[in-house]
Every structure is written in structure tokens, then in C-alpha cells.
Structure 1
Amino acid sequence: MKTEIVGGSEKNIWSSMLFITAFLILGWRIMDRIWLKPKKKERMLKQQGFKGNPYTLTRLLFGDVKENSVEYAEALRKTINIHDEAVPRVMPFVHKTIEKYGKMSFMWVGPRPRVLIMDPELMKTVMSKYNIFKKNFKVTNNIVQTLISRILNQEGEKWSKSRKTQNPIFQLEKIKQMIPAFQVSCDEIVNEWKNLVSSSKDGSCVVDVMSHIEVLTTKVVSRTLFATDYAQDKRIYEILKELTAIARQTTRIVDLPGAKYLPTMTNRRSKQIKNELRKSFSILINERTKAIKAGKTMEDNFFHVLLESELAEAHGIKNMDDLIGNVQLFYFAGHETTTAMLVWTMILLSIHQNWQERARQEVFQVFGDRKPDYEGLSQLKITTMIFNEVLRLYPPIVELSRLVEEETKLGQYTIPADTLLMLPIIILHRDTELWGEDANEFKPERFAEGVLKATNGHLAFFPFGSGPRVCIGQNYSLLEAKLVLANILSNFCFELAPTYTHAPYVIFTVQPQYGAPLILRKI
């Protein structure tokens, strides 16, 4: 009987020891992840000359996120003068970090350092060696991953394969064929504005051009990339816009392990949107697949190419999640950049009437009374200079981030494993060392001899990214924007309305927080 008791006690002791050992190992791993490794990375960065806030107990788990959120909320409460520098409002925490620590600085995203890269040669390396410096979607929260997925977060061979499939539809020859669809959408907004002006007593009216241009660019996406009806797609664009706002909000909160499973209002709503989008896209994909299999002739659009590639390879839809992700991405991203570019162009031309008139005269000289065509659009030198300057001052995407998974050499520096790199586009675009003392001024003439001359051969201008993973829709967006602006300039003159408030801020693209009310008059 005693032996049995002793044996039972020994088992209990061994069980307790195993439990304590497992607990200690788990505790050590947690401490290593949230304290020891971050401190080691901090020492490594500081030894190489990088500076930033110390990783202390007050920054445990959350890093600089709380301070970042406070700074951003405070910035949004204040408007700025139209000629003020935009960076302190758009990226307030990064701006203050650079002011305090200089260009070689870092911040904390939870226990992970985020190192600023502002040297053009180092940036070129980061964007060209995309297999080493990877997109940061592995460490991005679940809601952002829901919004921006598939080809953007693919790496290696899978990305190359997707890009190869999608490249042909964005070749210039294909985009030229979309010009009639661009024009149809443009005619709709021009006619709407003409009716608004005609119905006014003094021959002018105030229009928030941002909402109108957003509808125009979404119509273009539906017509050119998917051959669908905007009226049916409208709900998709509305909930994608809502998801965008939710996603941006969550980027200012540390994505703690398991956070996506918490029953928060944000998680519940994002899940509802995700399910609604999946249902809508599944119906669209299935209907179009049936049409292709039935041999019905379809336009040579992005959606058709995407489906044909999938059907040819798998003899059916093999991976519906990937397909839905790519469809959703282009519904979302296909219009965002163009909308932002056109809105800021109209705002800046409202301020700089001399450039508005120069661009208008160029449009009249090239096209006369005829509708814009590709040959004429390619001759618009002043318009191109204006767009480049707008993209410099208000790039749609304010920053690019890359993840270094293993310890990596970057120039003379050694970047610790599991570190984020930030390329702050809007700050570099306004850097006086790269652009001169007038870097914050609107001066399209700096691009009179092209981008290479304006940047002195440095990688100092990259509104669409750079390297192998440059934005696939760059030519699509620029050609559409040129056509739209040419139509607007030939029909209207415009200026800022008294109600306009200058307040650039970031959702995913840089937008005017309170819209873009302009006074329109017919030419």
C-alpha cells in the first residue's frame, strides 16, 4: 500500500516538474520575443548610428503605437494653410521622429523596430531586391490583409506567375483600346457638371469634385477591367470604401496575437463585409465562367484574362480564394490612385491659375474641337509636368514598407532579422536636400526636361513604387487621368470654393479630409 502511495507521489512530482519546465520554457520564449530580442536589435541599430525612442517597459508589446495614434489624432483636429508643409499633418509621428533623431532613425511597431530608409541608393536596393526585402503583409493585421491581398502579398515564383498573367492587359497597346470607355465615363461627368452650371443663376456652381471623380474612376474600372455595369457594382465600391476606413484605423493599433478572434465591433463588421464581398464576387466569377465555357465572345479585359488563365490551367476554378482576392484588389486599387491624383490636380490648379490656363491652352492646341485620342494625349507635355508635380507633392501612397526576415546587409548597414523598413515617399518627395529649398512649392517646371533630370538621376521620385514590383496599373492610371483632365479643362475653368478647407490626410491614399469643393464655370 505504501509503495502505491509513493509511486503516485512520484508521478505527481514528475507531472509538476514537467508543468513547471514547460511554463518556464514558454515564459522564456515570451520574454525573449517581447523584451530580449527587441533590446538586442535596439543595441545593434544604435551601434550603427541609428537613433530612436528606447524600448522600455512602457513600450512593452505596443512600442510607439500609442504615441503615433495620439499625434495623428491631434494632427487631424487642425487644418493647415494651403501653402503649409503637408508632412506634419499626413505623417506627424514620423515627421517628429526625424526632427528629433534625424534621417537615420527608427520607431517601434510593437516589439519590432521600423527603420527609416531615406538614402536613394539604399532605397534602390530595397526595391530591386524584392526577394530579400519583402512586402510586409506577413506582419500586417487581418483586416488589412482582407482588403489588400493576393498578387500584392505574393512572393517569389507565385508572384512572378501572377504578374506574367496580368501584365498583357496593362500593356500600352491594350490600354489604348480602353480610351473609348474612358471617354464615355468622362462624358457623363462633364454633362452632369454642365447641367449643374446651366441651372445656376450666375453661370457658376460649387461642386465637391472629389465625390464626382470617385464615381467616374469606379465606372472606368467596371467598364474596362471587368466589363460590368457600375450600377450593379456600386454596392461593392461602397463596402470596400468602408473596409478601407476600418483597415486604416486598425493600422494604428498593435496587432496582438489572436486579436482577430476577439468579438470587437471592428472585427464583426469587417467579417460581415468580407462575407458580403465574397458572395458578390463568387456570383460574378461563376456567371462569367459559365459564359466563357459556353463559348460566348467576351471583351479582352482584365477579368476575362484572369478567368481564362485559371480555367486553362486547372480546367475549373481551383483556388477561389486567390481569384476573389485578385478581383477584389483591382476593384479597390483600380480607381484609388487615379481619384487622388485628379482631385489634387484640380485643387492645385485652382490655386495656380496660370498653370491651369497653360494646360488648357495646350489641350486646345493639341485637340481643337475633337475628342482626346492617344496620339494627342502623348503630346501633352505641360499636363505631364503638372501630374508629375502633383504626384510629387501628394503621392497617393505616402510610404512603402518592407520586411527583413533574416539578418541582412543593406549597403554598409546590417539590418536585424524581423525588422521593418520604411520608405517615406511623401517625405522624400519634399526633401530639400534632394529637391532644393522650394521642395514644398508647386513648380511643374522642375519636370520640364523629364523625371531623370529633375531628380539628378537619384531615386527621389517614385509615386508608383519602383523596381520589378512597380505598380502594374501605372500607365492605365496616367492615361485615364490625362484624358479626364483634358476633357475638364476644355469645358470648365475652376477655382477653390470659399468652403474649401485644406486638410490632407491618409485613408490608404492621400485625400482632402473635407472634400474638394470647387467653383466651376463653363468655358
Structure 2
Amino acid sequence: MEMEVPLQVLLSLCLIGVCSLVVYLYYIAWLRPQGIRSKLRQQGIAGPPSLFLYGSSLEMKRLLMAERTRGGRGGEVKHGFTQHVFPHFEQWRKEYGPVFTYSLGNAVVLHVSHPDWVKEISLCSSLDLGKSSYLKKSHEPLFGQGILKSSGRSWSHQRKILAPEFFSDKVKGMVELMVDSAWPLLKSWEEKVELSGGTAAINVDEDLRRYSADVISRTCFGSNYSRGKEIFLKIRELQKAVSSPNLFAEITGLRFPTKGGREVHRLNREISSLILKTVKDSNGTEQYTSQKSLLQAILRSADDDLPSPATPDSFVVDICKNVYFAGHETTAVTTSWCLMLLALHPQWQARARAEAAAVCRHRPPDANSLQKMKTLTMVIQETLRLYPPGAYVARETMQEMEFGGVRIPKGVSIFVQSSALHHDPSIWGPDVLEFNPERFARGVLGACQLPQTYLPFGVGPRTCLGQHFAMTELKVLLSLILLRFSISLSPNYRHSPALRLIVEPEHGVELLLKKAEVLVTSSGIYQ
């Protein structure tokens, strides 16, 4: 005969379960992070106060709203965007110094902008210093377990796959494909100039994204932009959808089926399906089999002993999503900033154009001519200094570690703020907020007192694998644009850098384009 469980017992069990959950959440959301911050305070690392569940995020929002209330940036172009985008960091740096701690939900962050600390971090090769797990839950649909968010064995495994595909010799072989990708963009701009009577106002951002997407598709996946267009559009939608942190998910690891959450899930599912279809369609085609693409390297490794919890399909999808995002978004945004700065500084525009015309010698750029474009290289380096696409380099201590003589507990996120270092007059001189590519005439080592503080491509062993690829792509497109067009800034341009995972022009970059005196066609003949 079955015995019935009394209702009172069931209620007691439910109450115990709820109380256990509350105690657990209180521990992970408050006691644990407060204990970590206490250990840092005992070693002299101070910071703003923290609130239960919110950490320092409400104070961050208050300072950001106060900065916006003081008025927009309007049409005036001032290059020091840190106060505008990160007023909380500027305030806390003044109060607590270049190294301070704060909380984001239950995540403890160590903010670093001290050059000596940055040098130590850059020299650290231990896997105990991994990628920050802050926002990993919020960003998981966009990055999955890909190289941009992974640590330890998973990161090491992916890096071994990807690194050889971006070696210098491989990138040299991609230049012709990069040039081919540029002709449709240049032709469309030329038609707009002609239809507008000689001068056209063009918002360049989406065109540059399409170009970068086509380059990634051709060089890495043996495809093209028209084939992968839907993937890139959905990745852009997903980027916007996950750009705001989900503190509840970050603290608990749980997701409620909200309207926004369902949209993110839908986009993620569709992107995964599209990538797998592209992989299936590409496998066996003549273009795929004749070209040793990055996709082949990924597929060859998909059946290896994958780190848990990866499956062959998720492994392929996650790496592809990371390459799609990192390979086209940051490069396109940097191109937008470069064109904005060249439009503002016609003397540097003319100098870069003359150099490109001299080294190309009546041909489209190739690997040899790109190496000779010293002026354009300096322009790009200075653009990356003034407008680094990554707001900060984010790391996390997987075990207790020591930097700057401070013992940092396990689980602390270390944020090295790029713009604070790039815009520091004690490092770069009194003209730090001026566009002066000449400072890079002798390279990074000659540009500043502390070269480790220049980190547009990250820092240390996790430095961006694709930096040579990105620099090559930037020089190809910028040189072709300068040889065809003279550019100036549209009066409609509103200068307002904004953080959307990367620092990009909030309202886009609108330029006035007209034909340059020196032109080059797809057949390689100057007109």
C-alpha cells in the first residue's frame, strides 16, 4: 500500500529548496565578490562601492547619463572619446588611480591603465591568464565557445588551427582576392559621383562592411559576399541584440524566455543553420578543393579530440562565427575612422594618394607595393591609436596570480583600457589627441616611450591572429579609394563614438566624394 506524502512535508521540502537557492544566490552574487574585493583592498587596490546584484553598474549608468545630459558632441570633432564613452572610468581613475577595482553584477573587475602592469600582463604566457568570462553568457549566442571567448585547452586548440592560415605568406596570396572584392564598391561609388554631378554624399559604413565581409568570404571560406550575405546581416542583428548585458543570466547562468531572449535564440539558430549549409555546399566544389581555405583547416580539425562540450557541428559554427565577426566588423569600422580622419586632414590624404600612385606604377596594389606604402601604414597606425576598435583587453585569472606586486585572486577579470593608454600624454606627448601619423615614422618603438601601451590588436600571447591580414586589407582598400576619389567630410557628419561591443561611429560616417586626379581601373590602367 502506497503511503501519501503529507502536504506539510512537501511544503517544507519546497521551502528548504527555495531557501537553499536564495543562500546560494546570495553567496555567488554578494559574499564571494565582496570577499575578493576585500582581499584586493587589503593590498591597496580601492574602488567605487558595490550594490547587491548590481555591483557598480548603476553608478556607471548615472555617470554616463550625466555625460550625455551635458550635451552631444555635435559637429565638432574631438578625438579624445574616453570621457564621452567611459565617463565612469575617467571619474574612478581620478579618485582611485590607474589600477582600481569595481563590480559588474557578481563579476569583480580590476581596471588597469598603469604601464608597468600592462607590461607584466603582456609578457605573461601562462594559460592561467585566460579570456574574461564576464558577459560570456550574454555574448554566448554570438561567440559560442570560439577563440574570442575561450580559454585554456579550447583556446590553445583553436589557435593552432587558425594561426597558420594568417601567416604572412598566406596573406600575401590573398591580396589579389582583396583587390577583386574592392571593384564593385569602387564602381558603385563612382556611379553615385557621376549621377550627383561630380560630388556625392555617401554614408560609407555599410558599404565597407559588405567589402570586408566579401574579403572574409573569399579568402577564408572559398565563397563570396552574395553567398554569405544573410549570415553577415544576421550576425549584425545578433551583435545589436546582445550588446546590452543580461545581469541575471551572468549571475545565475539562467535565461528567462523573454521576447528579446527568443529573438536572440532565433537569430543564433538561423546563423548556425546558414553556416552549416555554407559548409556543406562548399565541400566538394571546384573552388573549395582547389584552394586551401581556412574552412578546410576547420573541417579537418572538427573530428579531432575536441574539448568538452564541443561537438563537430558546434565547433565549426563557433569558429566560423568568431572569424566572420572579428574579420569583418573591426576592419570595416577602422576603415570608416581612417576615411573620416583623411577627410579632415587633406594634406595627409594627398600625401598617401601620391605614395600609392608612385608605388603601384599603373597597376592595382600587390603584396610588394603594399610593403612600400609607409605613409598609409602610419595613417592606419595613428587611426588605431586614436580609435582602437576594442574598448579594452579583457583577461581573467584562472588561478591566483601576481601582477604589480599584488596577489590577484582566482576569478578576477582584468580590463586593460586601450583608450586610456592610447590617449595618455605622459606616454605619447602633449599632442596626444591630435592626428599626427608622423609619430609612427620609426614604427611603434619610436612613437612612444612604452610600446607595450599600444594595443589595438590586443596584448600578449592572445594578440589578434589576424592583425597582418587586417593591415593588408586596410591598405588595399584605402589605397584604391584614394587613387579614385578625393574625400572630404560631409556637413551632416555627427561625431559621436559609441560602444557596441566595439567602438564605432554612432551615426555612421558620411563623406563627400569626387573623382581624384589620379585614377586606376580594374584593368590596371590609370585614367
Return the TM-score normalized by structure 1: 0.89
2:173 aligned with 1:187: no
Q: 1:473: which partner in 2?
A: 466
Residue of 367, 373, 377 corresponding to 1:384: 377
> 1:123-153: per-residue Cα shift (whole Å, max 9, x none)?
233343351221113x424330121232223
Residue of structure 1 equivalent to 2:210:
215
Gaps of 5+ in 2: 517-527
Contact 1:213 1:342 in 2 (8 A): yes
Equivalent of 1:416, from 382, 388, 409? 409
Letter matched to residue 381 of structure 2: N
Task: Classify the secondary structure of the residue corresponding to 1:502.
Answer: coil
- In 2: Cα distance, 1:296 partner to 1:51 partner: 55
Secondary structure of the residue aligned to 1:53 is coil
Structure 1 residue 398: Cα displacement: 1.1
Q: 1:379: Cα distance to partner?
A: 0.8
- For structure 1, which segment, 253-262 or 63-72, has the greater mean C-alpha deviation from structure 2 after superposition? 253-262
Point out the more displaced range, 402-411 or 372-381: 402-411
Query: Could you say if the C-alpha distance between residues 143 and 39 of structure 1 is closer, same or farther in structure 2, counting changes exceeding 3 Å?
Result: closer
Q: Give the match's secondary structure for 1:52.
A: coil
Tell me if the contact between 1:62 and 1:254 (Cα under 8 Å) persists in the aligned partners.
no
**2:300 corresponding residue in structure 1:** 308
Farther off after superposition, 406-415 or 348-357: 406-415
Structure 1 residues 358-369: aligned runs within 5 Å: 358-369=351-362
Among 115, 120, 132, which residue is 2:115 paired with? 120
Report what 2:259 is aligned to.
265
1:28 offset after TM fit, Å?
5.1
CA contact (8 A) 1:176 1:374 kept: yes
1:367–1:142 distance in 2 versus 1, CA, 3 Å: same
CA-to-partner distance for each residue in 1:154-189, whole Å, 9 max, x for gaps? 323332222122222111111111111111111111
What is the rounded CA distance, in whole Å, between the counterparts of 2:151 and 2:34 in structure 1? 30
312 and 85 in structure 1: CA distance in 2 versus 1, 3 angstrom threshold? closer
Structure 1: which amino acid aligns with 2:98? K
Q: Which runs of 5+ in 1 are unaligned?
A: 1-7
Q: How big is the shift at 1:400?
A: 1.6
User: Can you list the C-alpha shifts for 1:328-373, whole angstroms capped at 9, x where unaligned?
Assistant: 1111211112111111000011111111111111112212321111
Distance 2:329 2:24 in 1: 42
Residue by residue over 1:253-309, the C-alpha shift from the partner in whole angstroms, topping out at 9 and shown as x without a partner, is 4545456431212101000001111211122223334x27x9973311111222233
Instruction: Give the 3-state SS of the residue equivalent to 1:154 in structure 2.
Output: coil
Tell me whether 1:160 sits opposite 2:156 in the alignment.
Answer: yes
Aligned with 1:207: secondary structure? strand
The reply to whether residue 517 of structure 1 matches residue 513 of structure 2 is no
| Paired amino acid for 1:518 | L
Secondary structure of the residue that 1:108 maps to in structure 2?
A: strand
Contact 2:331 2:474 in 1 (8 A): yes
Q: Deviations over 1:436-456 (max 9, x none)?
A: 222111111111111012132
Distance in 1 between residues matched to 2:18 and 2:289, nearest whole Å: 64
How large is the Cα RMSD of the aligned pairs?
Answer: 2.9
Cα contact 1:165–1:306 (8 A) shared by 2: yes
Asked whether the equivalents of residues 79 and 501 of structure 1 are also in contact (C-alpha less than 8 Å), the reply is no
2:149 is the alignment partner of 1:170:
no
Equivalent residues of 2:439, 2:447 under 8 A apart: yes
Q: Retained in 2: the 8 A contact 1:402–1:420?
A: yes
Is residue 2:55 matched to residue 1:63? yes
Distance 1:255 1:158, change over 3 A: closer
Map 1:313-328 to 2 at 5 A: 319-328=312-321
* Offset, 1:75: 4.8
Instruction: Show the 5 A alignment for 1:182-261.
Output: 182-201=178-197, 203-250=198-245, 253=247, 255-258=249-252, 260-261=254-255
Q: Is the deviation greater in 508-517 or in 256-265?
A: 256-265
- Note closer, same or farther for the CA distance 1:209–1:21 as it changes in structure 2 (3 Å cut): closer
Given that residues 237 and 331 in structure 1 are in contact (C-alpha distance below 8 angstroms), is that contact kept between their aligned partners in structure 2? Answer: yes
Query: 1:299 corresponds to which residue?
Result: 291
Q: Contact conserved, 1:143 with 1:270, CA < 8 A, in 2?
A: no
Distance in 1 between the 2:288 and 2:295 partners? 15
Q: Which stretch has the larger CA shift, 95-104 or 474-483?
A: 95-104
- Structure-2 separation of matches of 1:47 and 1:100: 17
- Distance in 2 separating the partners of 1:182 and 1:216: 9
Aligned to 1:83: 78
Which whole-Å CA distance do the structure 2 matches of 1:312 and 1:18 have between them? 45
The TM-score normalised by the length of structure 2 is 0.88
Structure 1, 388-397 or 90-99: larger mean CA deviation = 90-99
Number of residue equivalences: 505
Distance 1:27-1:306 versus aligned 2 partners, 3 A rule: closer
Which secondary structure state, in structure 2, belongs to the residue aligned with residue 114 of structure 1?
strand
Q: Which residue of 2 aligns with 1:460?
A: 453
CA contact (8 A) 2:498 2:505 kept: yes
Q: What residue in structure 1 maps to residue 270 of structure 2?
A: 276
SS in 2 for 1:505: strand
The answer as to whether partners of 2:130 and 2:152 remain within 8 angstroms in 1 is no
Please point out which of 141, 150, 173 is paired with 1:146.
Answer: 141
State the Cα deviation string for residues 488-522 of structure 1 (Å, max 9, x = none): 11111111001001011111221111111111010
SS at match of 2:110: strand
Flag the 1:344–1:84 CA change in 2: closer, same or farther, 3 A: closer
Gap change, CA 1:324 and 1:20, over 3 Å in 2: closer
Matched to 1:133, the amino acid is L
CA distance in 1, matches of 2:63, 2:397: 27
1:37 to 2:29 alignment? no
CA distance in structure 1 between the partners assigned to 2:99 and 2:288 by the alignment: 58
Alignment partners' CA distance in 1, 2:224 and 2:18: 59
Alpha-carbon contact 2:175-2:366 (below 8 Å) kept: yes
Closer, same or farther: CA 75–225 of 1 in aligned 2, 3 Å:
farther
Aligned-partner SS, 2:363: coil
Letter in 2 for 1:223: R
**2: CA distance between counterparts of 1:185 and 1:279?**
26
Q: In 2, Cα distance between the equivalents of 1:312 and 1:37? A: 37
Distance across 2 between alignment mates of 1:520 and 1:480: 21
How much identity, in percent, do the aligned residues show?
A: 28
Code of the residue aligned with 2:260 in structure 1: it is T
In structure 2, give the amino acid aligned to 1:136: S
Report the alpha carbon displacement of residue 85 of structure 1 after superposing the two structures with TM. Answer: 2.1
Give distance in 2, aligned partners of 1:502 and 1:395.
Answer: 16
